[in-house]
């Protein structure tokens, strides 16, 4: 098995890491899937770390049957993009989702079947500036992927290792991919969410026992859900249970979304835990509070509470 044609769906912060690395591989065809105005924009090139890269731009039909499809969408964009995924996937396509959370693979598998999906995650801190996307290739932990069950050194795992070799992309395959994905999920839920409500840098967990307590409450609930689902979080590599070193001012993606007035991926974090908690009969009150609070912050950003002054209909507390 040899990977000769690769499509990236979602040429944003994470997609840029893949485009940057695979652009070194002159022997493969690399394309981004996009249509309409987005396709026209991408045809002008992707600015990454100050350099312009020019992957091909394909409609989903032109991508049909690619050897590898890498999904790098935000959670809210996934339902609408399912049609593109269905069209691009052929008999021999492997699909890797680098999205955060624990259910993008499941959602994609519900559309195209579980067989093409190779569970994966990415650890990178990539963000957009005026001149395009930026990340530090050296400190990036990179892409972690693996089969959910033996044989772990499958043909497709070996083919992806061969593809990523000498590209600058950091990667490793693992026999514990579910534990790794849940370990990253725990990092996101416990660190992204309380700081997003407070609106302060991540130093808040070190400097406030109150913030640490809220983070620990989210953690206890997530670990109870993981245990009930048979996920052994201790099986994840040591490096997966902590994030990269960052300054105390760092704002993770949920707070970055709120800062920019965008909707967040809270449905993929506390929303997913509420759904799983309900299925398993596990109470997740810290996550429920967090979910509703972040949804309300999105509403606030949308202007829902921009009251117009004295002429508004009066209300009272109940």
Ligand X SMILES: CC(C)(CO)C(=O)C(=O)O
Ligand Y SMILES: NC(=O)C1=CN([C@@H]2O[C@H](COP(=O)(O)OP(=O)(O)OC[C@H]3O[C@@H](n4cnc5c(N)ncnc54)[C@H](OP(=O)(O)O)[C@@H]3O)[C@@H](O)[C@H]2O)C=CC1
List interacting residues with ligand X (CB under 6 A).
Answer: 100, 123, 125, 187-188, 191-192, 243, 252-253
Q: Which does 243 bind (CB under 5 to 8 A by kind): ligand X, ligand Y, none?
A: ligand X
Pick between residue 81 and residue 164 the one whose CB is nearest to ligand Y.
Answer: 81
3-state secondary structure the chain: CCCCEEEEECCCHHHHHHHHHHCCCCCCEEEEECCHHHHHHHHCCEEECCEEECCEEECCCCCCCCCEEEECCCHHHHHHHHHHHHHHCCCCCEEEECCCCCCHHHHHHHHHCCCCECCEEEECCCEEECCEEECCCCCCCEEEECCCCCCCCCHHHHHHHHHHCCCCCCEEECCCHHHHHHHHHHHHHHHHHHHHHHCCCCHHHHHCHHHHHHHHHHHHHHHHHHHHCCCCHHHCCHHHHCCCCCCCCCCCHHHHHHHCCCCCCCHHHHHHHHHHHHHHCCCCHHHHHHHHHHHHHHHHHCCCCCCCCCCCCCCCCC
Which of the residues 245 through 284 are near ligand Y (CB under 6 A)?
253, 265
Which of the residues 13 through 32 are near ligand Y (CB under 6 A)?
13-15
CB of 241 to ligand X, least distance (A): 12
Q: Does 242 bind ligand Y (CB under 6 A)?
A: no
Q: Does 143 bind ligand Y (CB under 6 A)?
A: no
Which of the residues 153 through 172 are near ligand Y (CB under 6 A)?
none
Q: Which does 192 bind (CB under 5 to 8 A by kind): ligand X, ligand Y, none?
A: ligand X
Pick between residue 191 and residue 290 the one whose CB is nearest to ligand X.
Answer: 191
Pick between residue 205 and residue 252 the one whose CB is nearest to ligand X.
Answer: 252
Task: Give the x-and-dash track for 171-200 against ligand Y (CB under 6 A).
Answer: ------------------------------
Task: Give the x-and-dash track for 100-119 against ligand Y (CB under 6 A).
Answer: x-------------------
């Amino acid at each position: 098995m040899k990977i000769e044609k690769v499509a990236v769906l979602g040429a944003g912060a994470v997609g840029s890491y893949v485009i940057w690395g695979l652009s070194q591989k002159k022997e493969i065809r690399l394309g981004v899937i996009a249509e309409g105005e987005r396709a026209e924009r991408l045809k002008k090139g992707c600015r990454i770390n100050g350099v312009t890269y020019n992957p091909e731009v394909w409609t989903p039909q032109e991508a049909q049957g690619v050897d590898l499809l890498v999904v790098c969408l935000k959670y809210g964009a996934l339902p609408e993009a399912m049609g593109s995924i269905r069209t691009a996937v052929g008999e021999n396509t492997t699909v890797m989702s680098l999205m955060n959370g624990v259910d993008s693979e499941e959602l994609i598998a519900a559309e195209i079947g579980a067989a093409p999906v190779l569970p994966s995650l990415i650890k990178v801190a990539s963000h957009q500036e005026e001149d395009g996307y930026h990340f530090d290739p050296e400190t990036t932990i990179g892409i972690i992927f693996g089969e959910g069950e033996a044989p772990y050194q499958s043909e497709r795992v070996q083919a992806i290792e061969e593809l990523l070799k000498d590209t600058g992309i950091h990667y490793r395959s693992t026999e514990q991919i579910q534990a790794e994905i849940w370990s990253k999920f725990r990092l996101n839920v416990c660190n992204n969410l309380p700081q997003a409500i407070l609106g302060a840098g991540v130093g808040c967990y070190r400097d406030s026992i109150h913030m640490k307590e809220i983070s620990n409450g989210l953690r206890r609930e997530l670990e109870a859900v993981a245990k009930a689902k048979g996920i052994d979080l201790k099986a994840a590599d040591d490096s997966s249970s902590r994030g990269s070193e960052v300054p105390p001012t760092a704002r993770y993606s949920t707070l970055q979304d709120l800062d920019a007035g965008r909707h967040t991926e809270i449905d993929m974090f506390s929303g997913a835990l509420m759904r799983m908690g309900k299925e398993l009969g596990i109470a997740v009150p810290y996550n429920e509070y967090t979910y509703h609070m972040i949804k309300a912050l999105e509403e606030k950003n949308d202007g829902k509470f921009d009251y117009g002054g004295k002429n508004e209909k009066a209300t009272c507390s109940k």
